[in-house]
Chains A and B, each alone.
Chain A
Amino acid sequence: MMKNSFGGYFKRLLKANLRTVIPIAILAMLIFIPITSSWQNHLFFKYTENDLGTIQKYYYGSTRVDAMPQNAIEGFETNFSTAVAVLICLCWVMPMVSFYAFKNRRNIDIFNSLPLSRRKISLAHYLSGLLTVLIPAALAFFAEVFVIIGYGAISLINLGWLAFYFVALMVMGWLYYSMNVFVFNEANHIFDGTAFIIGWNLVFAIIYYFANLPDLFEDLALPWVYIMDILARIEGVIETTTYPLDFIFKFETTVAITLFWIVLGLLSVALFFWRCNKKKSEHAGGVSDSIFGYRLLIPLYIFPQILYSHIGCRYGDITVVAVWFALAFAGYSVCRQSFKFKRSDYWTIGCMAFVTVIIAITNFLRELHH
């Protein structure tokens, strides 16, 4: 009975999701395909590599050319960017579509009194949302495969890497969707959940830019840009049967950063399922007090800005720092929905102030010394 309830509920959710999303995905594809086609035009090309390893690419147009320069390798420029764009957009939207019902107290009354465990209800929503992300992306992927076949270019494609691309597309979609599901579900209100998704997707970029981190961290700045980048690199390998790999991959950083995102994604899956059973029904629709929400996002957004103000230096500005601290208080009052702060808020702001003072003194002494 339980198993049937889960299966029935899952199917019901999936059907409802797909019924909404598939037409939107088709519409999106109709919009995306002409746009992305202007980036990559389904061109046949040939490349040669000189002794120094420099690649020389020659484009021939949308029909195959028999004449080949000596030692040239033939390829076909593919265009999977529609699949990637559909995947990324759905990874932003589907966590909200799949879990917004949990942010409403009236829905929670219904959900939590049903004869199905909370974890299974969450699992049904998670899986139906995930499939709604992956199915349109997979459809867009196979649409491109059919386009390649239509051009008669399948023999030029590296089929092993094509299969790997598909697996990478699905795995990245799964992990990125899970990250957004986790942060959305840390909120008790749909507005907060949306803010958490936006906040966490941009936070690394804020830290990277304002904390002036080395270029190495650029790939960590925006997760969706990294997904687009890594998939574009794999796509480069697909386009011929013998593309030199080291031209495509910067192995020294790619593996480490990919592993970082994979660990973060897997951690999100684990944390989501661990915490979905611990959420209190009475908090639905109320203030979002999770450590993975405003409590962490506010210092992560504010502190790099303070660092950026060159506090203590001659060209630093104490007024700017004061404004950022005022904004931190404003942020906490928005998230608490009152001017009554919690002790943890004072501690966070206190710690930021303490570190700011230390940095200011250090900068001042350094300036004095020079």
Chain B
Amino acid sequence: MIEIKGLSHSFDKKCVLNNINLSVPDGTILGVVGINGAGKSTFLRLLSGVYETENTVLYDGKSPMSAETRKDIFFLPDDPFYTGAPTPKKLFEFYRTFYPEIDISVFDSFLSEYKIDKKKSLRTFSKGMRRQVFIAVALAVKPKYMLLDETFDGLDPLSRKLFKDAIIKLVEEENATVIITSHSLRELEDFCDKFVLIDNTQIKSEGDIADHVSRLCKFNLAFISDISREAFDGMPIVSLDIKGRFATAVFEGDADEIRARLETLSPAVIDEMPLDFEEAFIHDVLSGRGKK
């Protein structure tokens, strides 16, 4: 279990994370979301021990600043590269020095799935291919805690599917805990159990993705004449977009109750629209900035 208590970090005088508190139970896939510069990568670097923490992050009660704890952790940064290992084969050998139980069959099978030559120079690889190599290493290590920074970035759809399936298998078989940051929220929605939204240095919202999305509902409305914003006063609006006779609104609450209240405005048409995690994220971030 990962416990984070009062985690803060600043770069010189700029505060990036402030008083983050979170518990991640074993066997969880946690998606960390936030806008660019929100501090997601910093969050993972703090969790992995790359940046120093003073007992604000604990893995089963042990700090990641201890090398002994880090043998259960694998951190895959957003732009992975190591100058000391020029080929995938050398990279595997490099990691085998630190993780002696790394599974070469897993590594080889992923490289063959990704169609990557083990003996070619990593320098000649695209960012996506380098990431595939590091993904293969990460999965071969089979760590108890896997920290992945923007790992979907640069992967083709087939690679993403392969990767997601492998992560799910790792969690099911090894009870591993995976924390992944991504801007591709639709990807996270597919396989994350929980999410954390970091915004303005703090955790803005967290919880189960499905629950989070289901607490919101979205309606498209058409009226006979122009409608004003005031007509919606008193309703639990998350966002509202009015264009003449048409309105699109996201509300927080039970969809049936909201529909009943909207019908009192006598719309000509009322349609409930599906809402995904990405829209919920946008509404969360915008509402935090006072924009509705």
Q: Are A and B part of the same complex?
A: yes
Which of A16, A108, A109, A280 meets B84, CB within 8 Å? Answer: A16
A15 to B120 Cα, complex, angstroms: 20
Which of A9, A13, A110, A120 meets B77, CB within 8 Å? Answer: A110
B residues within 8 Å of A by Cβ?
11, 45, 48-52, 67-68, 70-71, 73-75, 77, 79-84, 93-94, 97-100
Q: Return the chain A residue nearest B79 by Cβ.
A: A106
Q: Does A254 contact B (CB under 8 A)?
A: no
With A114-B98, A115-B98 as contacts: A109 and B71 at CB distance below 8 Å: no
On whether the beta carbons of A281 and B97 are closer than 8 Å, the reply is no
The count of chain A contact residues (Cβ–Cβ below 8 Å) is 27
With A12-B94, A112-B49 as contacts: A2 and B84 at CB distance below 8 Å: no
With A1-B100, A16-B84, A280-B52 as contacts: A109 and B67 at CB distance below 8 Å: no
* Minimum-distance CB pairs A-B, first 6: A115-B71, A113-B75, A109-B77, A8-B97, A115-B70, A113-B48
On whether the beta carbons of B83 and A104 are closer than 8 Å, the reply is yes
0/1 interface trace, chain A 1-26, chain B, CB 8 Å (1 if under) = 11011001100110010000000000
Which of A9, A13, A112 meets B50, CB within 8 Å? Answer: A112
Contacts across chains A and B counted by CB atoms under 8 Å? 73
Q: Does A117 contact B (CB under 8 A)?
A: yes
A13 to B68 Cα, complex, angstroms: 22
On whether the beta carbons of A5 and B98 are closer than 8 Å, the reply is yes
With A8-B97, A101-B83, A110-B82 as contacts: A282 and B11 at CB distance below 8 Å: yes
**Nearest Cβ on chain B to A178's Cβ, whole angstroms:** 22
**Cβ–Cβ < 8 Å partners of A290 in chain B:** none
On whether the beta carbons of B98 and A281 are closer than 8 Å, the reply is no
A117 to B77 Cα, complex, angstroms: 19
**Cβ–Cβ < 8 Å partners of A100 in chain B:** 83
A69 to B122 Cα, complex, angstroms: 69
Q: Does A362 contact B (CB under 8 A)?
A: no
* 20 A–B pairs (Cβ distance < 8 Å), ordered by A: A2-B68, A5-B98, A8-B97, A12-B93, A12-B94, A12-B97, A100-B83, A104-B83, A106-B77, A108-B50, A109-B50, A109-B77, A110-B77, A110-B81, A113-B74, A115-B68, A120-B67, A281-B50, A281-B51, A282-B45
**Cβ–Cβ < 8 Å partners of A101 in chain B:** 82-84
**Cβ–Cβ < 8 Å partners of A8 in chain B:** 97-98
Interface positions, chain A 86-111, Cβ under 8 Å from B, are 100-101, 104, 106-110
Q: Does A116 contact B (CB under 8 A)?
A: yes
**Cβ–Cβ < 8 Å partners of B48 in chain A:** 112-113
A113 to B67 Cα, complex, angstroms: 8
**Cβ–Cβ < 8 Å partners of B82 in chain A:** 101, 106-107, 110
On whether the beta carbons of A115 and B67 are closer than 8 Å, the reply is yes
**Cβ–Cβ < 8 Å partners of A2 in chain B:** 67-68
